[in-house]
Amino acid sequence: MLSKAQNDLVTQTGPGTPGGRLMRSYWQPLVTSEEFPIGSAPLPVKIMSEELVLFRDDKERLGLIGLHCAHRGTDLSYGRVENGGLRCLYHGWLFDIEGKCIDQPAEPEDKKFCHKVRQTSYPVQEFGGCIWTYMGEGEAPLIPDFQFLTAPEPNRWVARSVSRCNWLQSLEGSTDPAHTTYLHRLAPGTRSVRSAGNDARMLRGIDPPKINIEHVSYGTRIYALHNSPMGGKYLRVNNYAYPCVAIPTTSTGDAGYQGRWNVPIDDYNNSHFEFFYRHSEPLDKDALRKLRSENVEADNRHTRRLENRYLQDRESMHGDGDFSGMGRYFPAHDCFAAETQGPIQDRTREHLGSTDIVIIEIRKALLKAIKQMEETGEAPWRIRETTENPFEEFVCLSSFIGEDEDGSSFCRRILGERKAAE
């Protein structure tokens, strides 16, 4: 449970808010590269309650500037891309990718006024299948060297979906190991449409896991230890990374993992970037795209949504049927769980149990990071040097472990083996 003041701190990210200041201290993905290929029209985007326009100038350089023209506020996404910038349709003011006003056709030719005008602008770069922006103060850090961003292109893929709720609900869902055996439980004999992997067999309809955490440089390592119905101890090592990233093993064993980056659009909507990654084999991107097109609409929201009660089929829930009655596409289940907590979950009224240890720890980490930011001006885990990238300590896999091992000793062993192999 949080106090009202604490809940406000961790959920509000608009300009000037402490939580927004923390979130702005890191590069954030705006859209996927597939959403904004070369030749795209200027795209209105909203991030952390700021309305912006993403565009490429006539040299194909990316720019991200305020959506409303500095003159009298007309929407620049309708503007013309020409003469080194984006020209407002109303009176023809022209802004370059840095937000500098470089032409005011109706004003005196001395350009004195022109040079005084500046549109809000943020640095922007394309990397790892996304277009990113840094909206913070001072020098930008580096983007963390997650393998789901840096692996060879055939081995990674990213898609974005939008949830109608505060970003923290989506993050909490992505990091919560306790819900898997309930929300995503399927009728015996059926498989998730996404995972034919081992985890599904290991976890199907069994006891909830024992959950533990360990604090690490990049955030929190999350251990979910299952008694496998096949015998033995089965461990999933998931991760939370500052400030809004979940990195779960999903159902891939040691073959790869996912990144789930939850970026506030405003305090009541968030973009959920789902990164897929395999170590040593290419992804079947056609299959991933097909699955997405069958479950996500052109507005980037799931077909199953609040307005249609997530198309729940209560008939399918009878007896040994599906637990949720919401089909076999797990992201739709997660979206249901997060959205129906309300636009911003009232955390003053919840009752956290022992399996909510991850949720409690992530909130503590966020509150601590916000406080640190307020007191020192520096957010945790901002990577400055390329030598800090890729970062050590990172483990994300699921595996059977020894009878005498736990999550922490297992990870120490894995990291030791990695180091020895270098």
User: Comparing C-alpha atoms, which of 382, 273, 372, 377 is closest to residue 9?
Assistant: 372
From residue 91 to residue 130, the character string flagging contacts with Fe ion as x (rule: CB under 5 A) and all else as - is ----------------------------------------
Residue 69 or residue 245: which is nearer to ligand FES going by CB? 69
| Triad 190, 193, 197: Cα angle to 5° | 80
> Binding segment for Fe ion among 236-244, 295-303, 326-334, 386-394 (CB under 5 A)?
326-334
Per CB under 6 A, contacts with ligand FES among 63-92 are 69, 71-72, 74, 88, 90-92
CA–CA gap between residue 184 and residue 358 (Å, rounded): 19
Which are the contacts of 22, defined by CB distance < 8 A and separation ≥ 6? 243, 366, 369, 370, 373, 379
Task: Indicate which of Fe ion, ligand FES, none lies near residue 334 (CB less than 5 to 8 Å, by partner kind).
Answer: Fe ion
Residue indicated by tokens 């009232």? 346
Q: Least separation, in Å, of the C-beta of 247 and Fe ion?
A: 14
Minimum CB–partner distance for residue 95 and ligand FES (Å): 9
**Residue 201: CB minimum distance to Fe ion, A:** 17
Min. distance of Cβ 395 from ligand FES in angstroms? 52
Binding test (CB under 5 A) with Fe ion, winner from 96, 322, 334, 339: 334
Q: Measured between alpha carbons, how far is 239 from 331 in angstroms, rounded to an integer?
A: 18
d(CA 224, CA 236): 5
Least separation in angstroms between CB 92 and Fe ion: 50
CA 47 to chain centre: 12
- Select from Fe ion, ligand FES, none the partner in contact with residue 88, using the beta carbon and a kind-dependent cut-off of 5 to 8 Å: ligand FES
Using CB under 6 A, which residues numbered 233 to 292 contact ligand FES?
A: none
Residues binding Fe ion: number (CB under 5 A): 1
Q: Is 322 in the site for Fe ion (CB under 5 A)?
A: no
410: left (phi over 0), alpha (psi -120 to 50) or beta: alpha
Q: How far apart are CA 219 and CA 364, in angstroms?
A: 11
Shortest approach of ligand FES to residue 135 CB, angstroms?
23
Pairwise CA distance, residues 37 & 398, whole Å: 36
Residues lying near Fe ion in the complex (CB under 5 A) are found at: 334
Q: Which residues bind ligand FES (CB under 6 A)?
A: 69, 71-72, 74, 88, 90-93
